[in-house]
Structure 1
Amino acid sequence: MRRFLFVLLIASVLTPAFGLNAEPMKRPELSALVIPPYKLGQPVNDKGVYTIVNTAGVDAGYIFETFPLAPIPGFSGAPINMLVTLDLETNILDVRLLDHSEPIFKSGIGEAAFHKYFEQYKGRSITTPMVVGAPFDDQGTAPGQVKLHGIARATASVRIAHESLMGAAMSVAREKMQGVRLGPPPVAVETDDVLSWAQLVEQGIVQRFQVTNGQLQEAFAGTIWAESDSQAEAALDALFIDLWIVDISPPAIARAALSQITQSELARLSELFENDELLLVIEAGRHGLVGDGFVPSGAPDLLKLSQGGFPVSVKDADITLVPHADAPAGKGMILRVDRRLGFDPTEDWKLELLAIRESRSIMPQIGEAAFSVTHKTPERFFERPEIVRPTPPWLEALITRKEDLIGLSLFLVGLIAVLALKQNRLAGLRTFTPIRLTVLAGMTGFVGWWGQGQLSIVTPLAVIRAAVDEGSFAFLLYDPFSLLVWIAAIGGFVWWGRGLFCGWLCPFGALQEFAAKIAAPLKLPQVTPSPVWDKRLRKLKYWVLASMVVVVIYDPAQVDVVSEIEPFKTAITVYFDREWWFVAYAVFWLVLSMVLFKGFCRYVCPLGAVMAIGGLLRQRDWIARRVECGSPCQLCRVKCRYGAIQKSGEILYDECFQCLDCVKIHDDDAQCVPLVLAARARDRIEAA
């Protein structure tokens, strides 16, 4: 049966998955989920990314599902799919959970907490490093980082969701928002430069841009607005635009471009808007920078700023402007640009000046022409802050749980060392039973209830699904506590087979053993299946596992449903705090163990089947045998409550739970029948 399961597992990896819906939502479905006042725009690629438009029909951001862009498997093996809405400034407008198969939420603590978790993202920029901490963890983070609160007993699932969300959002930002820098922008700093206006012009720090009336006429040539500007027609060589541009955020430049009065006012403005880059524009031609409807402190209606092909919001600083005495005369304005939007003054940026004309007709029509100039400021006037890189989720998980991991490591190392080196001596101690029960209590309390380290069949099924879908196995790193138990269990395959995990490291198995101990003084009648029925029932767990493998291949959405055959989630993960039928099911197995020793472990547990298959890696027969074992002595077989010893005395290691009862008997002169008989023979010889 184990070989059949092994073949099935291999076949599952080679079989294409069915029932996996990787197609993005259709337009009508997606349109209904767009948050007001926005509406769904046009698709921008074949991965389900759409634009969103505002009430004026202008592009305002993007909406997309995370699954097609960042399909990171969760603990069920299926990705967690979210709907994310970003504005053009990389701010998250909305995150909505669409679909997932995380068992802890599906049929554990409920989905309300998962939905509430995503509310933390609203209003945050994806350019700000974010880390997922433990629930209610208010300890500080690194400067520039934002801490998101995880969910108790589900922090690993939440970290996977965060990684998927940020991966998808960054993918959209890189593809569609090339003008957005995903690192901190440079900040103007004080330098030793002593500059004059003439030197600013000579070094290209101040740039002059001119457009003649003749060039303006050429822009409107052949249109209905060609004869709408008599001034331009009368003086073609005169200047329509005579623009001076300079970035005045660097103090050394500001001193050369502004009067002392304006410098003082600018300093106060910089304190108020510390994230703004300040640009001075002086226009000495006819353009005038703004139209008749301009409102101070608003966006100049005749100016547009962009960088990398991406529009950048610009506003009037609305302060009294008195340029330096050496600066040219003209209409001046100081513009504010928010650096947090990705604006980098040291890289080329473009300023467009619009020329507006109105046709001479009964029903005037408005036309426009754009004239653009590219500018940047030397790097020496700026300093780039060190990029705060978010801690990788797997490393954050290690850091968050370092105390628990240290405790678990010491526990596992100590237990494995004793079992590997002093197993027979341990079993022979008169206090062995109390010691074993103490270890099992530690597994239940610390590893199970506190550490949430109860292993589950969900993890092997998720591994199979990831292999089938050619996905990532990184989800295993998001729960380092359970991963450490898995490492110990898998390492135990080589030395003991399934016994290390099933006999010592399984919290629910420990609960069943406690139930059996409670039943002993009550003298409850015990159910012992006949050898024939015991053999039949032992195969049941393999059929359960085979059925679950078929489900994960052909209907993966039902994995969380079929995994409920394990009572682990109810008894360990959520502390019996679930719907009554789940609690009744878990209690049933514990009560049954009072009369049928560890019935779930022996006959039904699919994880036990996995452990038994893993036991094929076992390299030694670690339980000592004598020639008399099985013939004539049957004591160990009779005493073995797991039915792991055959009449011949052979040990069935795939059914052995490493309880060490037979090891104790084997070394006990007062219990082992061959030793007792040998002692009696010696006594007779000595007496003779």
Structure 2
Amino acid sequence: MQLLSLGTSWRGRVAARAGLMRTACSWWMALVAVLAGWAGLLCATPAHAGVMNRELMEKAFPSPLIVGEKDRDLPVWPILKQDATSTPVIAYVFESIDLAPIPGFSGTPYNLLVAITTKGEFMDVRVLSQHEPVFLDGLGEGPMHRFVDQYKGLSLKQNIKIGSNLNSGGKAGSANVYIDGVAKATASVRILNQSLLAASLKVARAKMGYAEGRDPDLVAHLRPDVFESMGWDEMVKAGLITRKTFRNRDVEAAFKGTVGEGLDEQGTRHGDDSFVDVYFAYLNVPSVGRNLLTPAGWKFMQSRLEEGDHALLLVASGRYSMLGEDFVRGAVPDRLTLQQQNLPLEIRDLDLDVDLKLPPSLRAAEWRAFRVIAPAGLDPAQALNFNLHVTRSKGQIYPERVTKTLGFDAQLPAKYFEAASSNDKTWRTSWRTRVGEVALLAIGLGVLAWALRNQLWLSQNSRRLAFFRTGYLLFTVAFIGWYAQGQLSIVNITALVQAVMAGRNLDFFLYDPMTVSLWAFVAITFFVWGRGTFCGWLCPFGALQELVSKVVKPLRLPQWRISERADAQLKKIKYAVLAAIVVTACVSVPWTDRLVEVEPFKTSITLVFARDWPFVAWAGGLLALSAFVYKGYCRYLCPLGAGMAIFGRLRRFDWIARRTECGTPCQRCRNDCAYKAIPKSGGINYNECFQCLDCVAIFQSEQLCVPLIAMNRKAARQIPIAAAVEKETVAPVQG
């Protein structure tokens, strides 16, 4: 009854304060802002700036190239080259940190030396400085330099995407270029890519008049919820279908003055007749596709499109075929091309074999649905510029050919798309590509929250608790750590400090969905359960240490006994390590990069021990130590754990049930606590508790809990008097 009462009381306290959960996240963000601002005031230093001067520029771009005078308004150096009697500008050179200082995971931006030609092509890209943890004594800088080398020869007019290298050969004419990423450094190379493109586009707009250059991720999105039942004529009136008529005289005018002039006798005689009528519509707009296709056809088309793809319908009627006799289904048309803001967009036949509801006048017309893939960056908010190419030839043996272009534009009405917002940056791509991982993490975090909420039920059976805890630790190491690379780190804190000092925003955190999701969950749990939710359940290296202890337990290795006084003193070390790292982060980025190596996380989790031997020896030694001193690194050295303990003081609940006998006189839980988080008083030191729930299991066990055993024995010794009298009365009768 007492146990039931305690459990009910605990649940009542949680329910009474459940309202705090709804504001926990906002409290956390406010606290971070205050602390970051305080750090910025204490450690204010000048923002990072470019390091290149004329002497260094001339070494980087030697003769026959000539380095001009640095622009007064924009930190750009013109590069000239002697051409006969003139010296034209052939390129512009700049440092990315001057134009797009996007912080990396250390809080410090990449600094890239970038040279782009006057045509918008990358002439050279070099890394001047970087402080990405994964490239510092991790993977090394080799993979990063190989990644950067891929930009040479590419153009700002192309959509440069990180992925499989499907189109590395088509540099000048292709709308899309995929460059190889770097395994285990996905977020870091995305930040590098964004820094490079953002800085380059600023220069291209200022120096080359680029209207073309735009962030391909800043595009509008179609609204799938907008649908109106309409016929063909109503769609034309609503602007959903665009019609363009080219007459014979228009074509003749295009060929005037060329060898193709006058070669079309029919066109010359009947100038007012139609050469070709072209109709265009976004087929994946519901008010178009669902009206022109059958329900089965609409469903089939949707199955052929990936997220972000567009299906463009083109219908042609008249003397001229928009496809040509040699067109192959599923291919890119030769006669029809598409551009948007002077950027080429590849259109490929979707090979859509469905019925199309065309008006009677167009039943004999040719039509095709073309796909523009999502990485092309087509923006429904901008006009599409179609070009229909007409070729004429003169001569028999060696004909002379001339091609002219008939252009027409199409614009989707605003009500059918949602305009891009300023937040649609490339970090959104990271979230879209990792939606499955984030979903699995969310499920795992939900399971953990349920388990901690139902700790009394979970720990009623020791085997149930052991099975659940071991399984969850394996999930943490294998999925959160090694697979999804979700190891939180002290680097996250130093990055926050350095970014605030430099006056930069914190968007760079969003490039890693796993880190953001974990920090959000941990921030909320600070208010509910304290520090131990992360350190005891969600830290991959902490979980790895505990699993090592479980594996070697059958070997009965001698455990180092640390006195209570020594344990208390050793636990202070991690706070000193944290203070040293945070102070260093304010004054020296290189020294911060060295000090954060006290964490073995990058070696053991991020790089899975594929690193230089000193780092592997340090991480391996700490794991070996855990076989003799239970999670010694977590308890005594971990600076992130120290930070978690500080924020864990925000905890609002004493959620581990205790009895009045705990500590006075019973010391069972205290003696069994491997973390030494239970003082002699019998309470719980939540700042050092890793939430293993062993003490909760003891609390409920009739075989382990001394007060519970005593209560049961006392109850057993109480002999019911009435029952005894009845027994004595009945006995003689039986005799």
> What TM-score, normalized by structure 2, do the two folds share?
0.66
Counterpart for residue 40 of structure 1: 67
1:80 aligns with 2:110: yes
Alignment pair present for 1:119 and 2:153 = no
Q: Give the distance between the partners of 2:214 and 2:554, measured in 1 at CA.
A: 68
Greater shift after overlay, 105-114 or 509-518?
A: 509-518
Instruction: Specify whether residues 479 and 144 from structure 1 end up closer, same or farther in structure 2 by C-alpha distance, changes over 3 A only.
Output: same
Q: Cα–Cα, structure 1 residues 41 and 639, in superposed 2: closer, same or farther, change >3 Å?
A: same
Structure 2 counterpart of 1:14, one-letter code? L
Q: 2:196 aligns with which of 165, 187, 193?
A: 165
Alignment of 1:423 with 2:451, yes or no, is no
Who is 2:42 aligned against?
15
Alpha carbons of 1:165 and 1:179: their partners in 2 closer, same or farther (altered >3 Å)?
closer
* Aligned counterpart in structure 1 of residue 436 of structure 2, from 403, 406, 425: 403
The SS at the match of 1:526 is: coil
Q: CA deviation at 1:660?
A: 0.3
Structure 2: distance between partners of 1:493 and 1:452: 22
Aligned to 1:568: 601
- Rounded to whole Å, the distance in 2 between the matches of 1:435 and 1:513 is 14
**Aligned residue type for 1:426:** L
The counterpart of 1:651, out of the listed 663, 675, 684, is 684
**Worse overlay, 576-585 or 396-405:** 396-405
1:545 Cα deviation from its structure 2 partner:
0.5
Alignment of 1:42-441 (within 5 A): 42-45=69-72, 48-56=75-83, 57-133=87-163, 144-178=175-209, 181-182=212-213, 191-193=245-247, 195=249, 251=251, 253-255=253-255, 258=258, 260-261=260-261, 382-383=408-409, 392-420=425-453, 422-429=454-461, 430-441=463-474
Contact 2:194–2:426 (8 Å) recurs in 1: yes
How many angstroms does 1:382 deviate by? 3.6
Contact 2:557–2:627 (CA under 8 A) maintained in structure 1: yes
Taking structure 1 as the reference length, the TM-score comes to 0.70
Q: 1:613 to 1:47 in 2, by over 3 A?
A: farther
* One-letter amino acid of the counterpart of residue 192, structure 2: A
1:566-605 equivalence runs, <5 A? 566-605=599-638
Query: Structure 1 residues 88-97 or 127-136, which shifts more?
Result: 127-136
Matched position secondary structure for 1:517 = helix
Secondary structure of the 1:84 match is strand
Do the aligned residues in 2 keep the contact of 1:576 with 1:583 (CA within 8 Å)? yes
* Pick aligned residue for 2:640 from 584, 607, 629: 607
- In 1, distance between residues paired with 2:41 and 2:596? 23
2:212 is paired with a residue of what secondary structure?
A: coil
Q: Distance in 1 between matches of 2:252 and 2:393?
A: 20
Name the amino acid aligned to 2:254: A
Contact 1:440 1:510 in 2 (8 A): yes
Equivalence for 1:674: 707
Deviations 1:377-406 (A, max 9, x none): xxx954269999997321211122122222
Provide Cα deviations, 1:452-489, integer angstroms capped at 9, x if missing partner.
11111101110111111111211111010222122222
Alignment length (residue pairs):
525
Match among 586, 606, 613 for residue 553 of structure 1 = 586
One-letter amino acid of the structure 2 residue matched with residue 30 of structure 1: M
CA deviations over 1:336-372 (Å, ceiling 9, x no partner): 99xxxxxxx9xxxxxxxxxxxxxxxxxxxxxxxxxxx
What CA deviation, in whole Å up to 9, does each residue of 1:198-244 have, x standing for no partner? Answer: xxxxxxxxxxxxxxxxxxxxxxxxxxxxxxxxxxxxxxxxxxxxxxx
Question: What stretches of structure 1 of length at least 5 have no aligned partner?
Answer: 196-249, 277-318, 323-333, 338-344, 346-379
Q: What is the one-letter code of the residue matched to 2:246?
A: D
CA apart distance, 1:262: 7.8
**8 Å Cα contact 1:503-1:658 kept in structure 2:** yes
- For the pair shown, which has the larger CA radius of gyration, 1 or 2? 1
Counting aligned pairs with the same residue, the percent is 39
In structure 2, what is the Cα distance between the partners aligned to 1:528 and 1:154?
A: 41
8 Å CA contact 1:262, 1:320 repeated in 2 = no
Q: Secondary structure at the match of 2:560?
A: coil
Contact 2:260 2:393 in 1 (8 A): no
Does the CA contact (< 8 Å) of 1:132 and 1:393 recur in 2? no
Per-residue deviation, residues 57-88 of structure 1 (Å, max 9, x unmatched) = 21112000000100010000000111111111
Provide closer, same or farther for how the CA distance between residues 190 and 102 of structure 1 changes in structure 2, counting only shifts above 3 A. same
Gaps of 5+ in 2: 1-31, 216-242, 265-319, 325-332, 340-391, 396-400, 722-735
- Give, as a single letter, the amino acid of the residue that structure 1 aligns with 2:670: R
1:642 equivalent to 2:669? Answer no
- Is the 2:166–2:177 Cα contact (8 Å) retained in structure 1? no
Distance of 2:69 and 2:548 partners within structure 1: 62
Relative to structure 1, is the Cα distance of residues 680 and 410 closer, same or farther in structure 2, using a 3 angstrom cutoff?
A: same
Which residue number corresponds to residue 464 of structure 1? 497
Q: Deviations over 1:85-116 (max 9, x none)?
A: 11111111111111000010011111100001
How far apart in 1 are the matches of 2:262 and 2:69? 46
- Residue by residue over 1:243-301, the C-alpha shift from the partner in whole angstroms, topping out at 9 and shown as x without a partner, is xxxxxxx746314555645879xx99x9799899xxxxxxxxxxxxxxxxxxxxxxxxx
Partners of 1:402 and 1:641 in 2: CA distance: 38
Q: Shift in Å at residue 147 of structure 1? A: 2.4
Q: Secondary structure at the match of 2:541?
A: helix
Q: From the superposition, tell whether residues 167 and 497 of structure 1 become closer, same or farther in structure 2 (CA, over 3 Å).
A: same
User: Relative to 1, partners in 2 of residues 1:431 and 1:172: Cα closer, same or farther, differing over 3 Å?
Assistant: same
